[in-house]
Amino acid sequence: MLHVDLDQFIAAVEVLRRPELVGKPVIVGGRGDPTERAVVSTASYEAREFGVGSGMPLRIAARRAPDAIILPVDHEAYNEASAEVMATLRAQPGAVVQVLGWDEAFVGVQTDDPEAYAHALQRAVLERTRLHCSVGIGDTLVRAKVATGFGKPQGVFRLTAENWLRVMGARPTVDLWGVGSKISRRLAAIGISTVAQLAAADPDADGLVAEFGPRMGPWFAQLGRGDGARVVDDAPWVARGHSRETTYQHDLTGASQIDEAIRELTAQVLADVAAEGRPVVGLALKVRYAPFITKTFTKKVPETFDRAEVLARVMELVERIEPDRPVRLLGLRAEMRMPEEARDGHTPTRSGW
């Protein structure tokens, strides 16, 4: 199967409709105002040379690349471009397409020459959308996904059982799809630093199960080998939930401000859920503080819920986190969960794995 990933997708879409930006450092983030609290969504390759990257606070990015053009995020434009790209993929002969996000998808296909197929696919995407993409070829979804990183930009790379360890073995576990900084640190603590070590690990004997549990432990060992699903699944996506999150430009202070914020957010997310016509089974409210503190308040909910109760719980959290100090609430995220579909209950099923 193939994994297709658009190169610097958001920045590329912006440059396409503003040709005068070609070759210039372009940063897309927030409302395009670097004095606001926001982060970088995408930076063009020219901007990356200044050390600007995704997830960086916009304020910092603007300081590092003072001459960069900073643009607001335009979801509509990216949705349209993405739809064109996905339609192009589906139009390829024999292609089964599993969309992973705005700018990436798995493509399942039977072919004797995957490289030729990949190049044809890149040409088709470029012709129809004027966007460049990189393609990973693999015998599992994980290998195809990881392979794409070696193809960037505009290239094609193949990872299979044959060359997986040769290419990935010496690399740190954090290079794997699904292993982040926290997991890689915990792996290192039980003596597993490289992909090869993870691949060779016995989940029980080498402590993976003890550290991560009976499901995730064996799963990480499998990930180290690059093994896993080999089938691209184009079944229609069913959302498990919806959430709305907001970062306030000024910290919220006091119960009335917080109450109003909860009212707005929960109304928005309830509207999102109502649009799907499925009942809500749970609410999670995440309360964010600077720096880095997130507290969660989870509740099973019937059709409606009592906002006064929610406010009381948030104030309780606030007082627990910052006793004897004025409230400095930075952001809120309200998540509504919908009834879960039946799952096989056997292997972890994170999207795309």
User: Known catalytic residues?
Assistant: 104
| Minimal distance, residue 20 CB to DNA, in Å | 25
In angstroms, what is the minimal distance from the CB of 283 to DNA? 8
Q: How far is the CB of 116 from DNA (least distance, A)?
A: 25
Quick one: three-class SS letters along the chain? CEEEEECCHHHHHHHHHCHHHCCCCEEEECCCCCCCCCEEEEECHHHHCCCCCCCCEHHHHHHHCCCCEEECCCHHHHHHHHHHHHHHHHCCCCCEEEEEECCEEEEECCCCCHHHHHHHHHHHHHHHHCCCEEEEEECCHHHHHHHHHHHCCCCEEEECCCCHHHHHCCCEHHHCCCCCHHHHHHHHHCCCCEHHHHHHCCCCCCCHHHHHHHHHHHHHHHHHHCCCCCCCCCCCCCCCEEEEEEEEEEEECCHHHHHHHHHHHHHHHHHHHHCCCCCCCEEEEEEEECCCEEEEEEEECCCCCCHHHHHHHHHHHHHHHCCCCCCCEEEEEEEEECCCCCCCCCCCCCCCC
**Residue number with CB closer to DNA (91 or 293):** 293
Considering the complex, what minimum distance in angstroms separates the CB of residue 107 from DNA? 15
- Nearer Cβ to DNA, position 94 or 339? 339
Residues forming the site for DNA (CB under 7 A): 30, 37-39, 41, 54-57, 59-60, 100-104, 145, 176-184, 212-217, 239-247, 272, 282, 284, 288, 290-292, 294-300, 317, 330-331, 333, 335, 343, 347-351
* Minimum CB distance to DNA smaller for 166 or for 240: 240
To the nearest whole angstrom, how small is the minimum distance from the Cβ of residue 240 to DNA?
3
Q: Which is nearer to DNA, 15 or 142 (CB)?
A: 142
Q: Name which of 104 and 139 has its Cβ closer to DNA.
A: 104
